[in-house]
Amino acid sequence: MTDYSPQSDNYIQLVQEAFSKQGFMQYLGVEIADIKPGYCELHLPFKPELDQHHGYFHGGVIGSLADVSGGFAGYSLLPEGKAVLTVEYKLNIISPGVGDYLKGVGRVVKQGKTLIVTHIDVFGVSKDNEVHCATAIQTLIAVTS
């Protein structure tokens, strides 16, 4: 993994403030677990409203967690006054989303002047087990906020 340097000394605060304004993430119950330059880990506790007909986390929930985990990994590298928007992402669900919570881990692969590429893994986590349930690649665009 490449070591990245944030362009803002208060990048953690900027990520936390931006995250707190995301109504959808608050609605789902997503929490920030860890932030480092070019890295973001989010946790989403299971609740019945997030499952599909077999009792697994719904694929749309997995995709949303992946999108935001990667987005904030990229956002952590930007200067104040900038933001990111998702251009596209490709998600492979490789196992059912099972567990007490989902863990989304976003990492920056490449930071360009305008575009940022991230890689995201999503895990279903239980007390004694962690299952890799999805992997994604994402492209973000840096914009003025």
Q: Where are the domains of the chain?
A: 11-144
pTM: 0.97
Backbone angles phi, psi at 10, to 5 degrees: -105, 40
Over the stretch 95-141, which tens digit does the pLDDT of each residue have? 999 999 999 999 999 999 999 999 999 999 999 999 999 999 999 99
Pick the CATH number of 11-144 from 1.10.390.10, 3.40.50.1980, 3.10.129.10, 3.40.640.10: 3.10.129.10
Question: What are the helix and strand counts (H, E) for the chain?
Answer: 3, 6
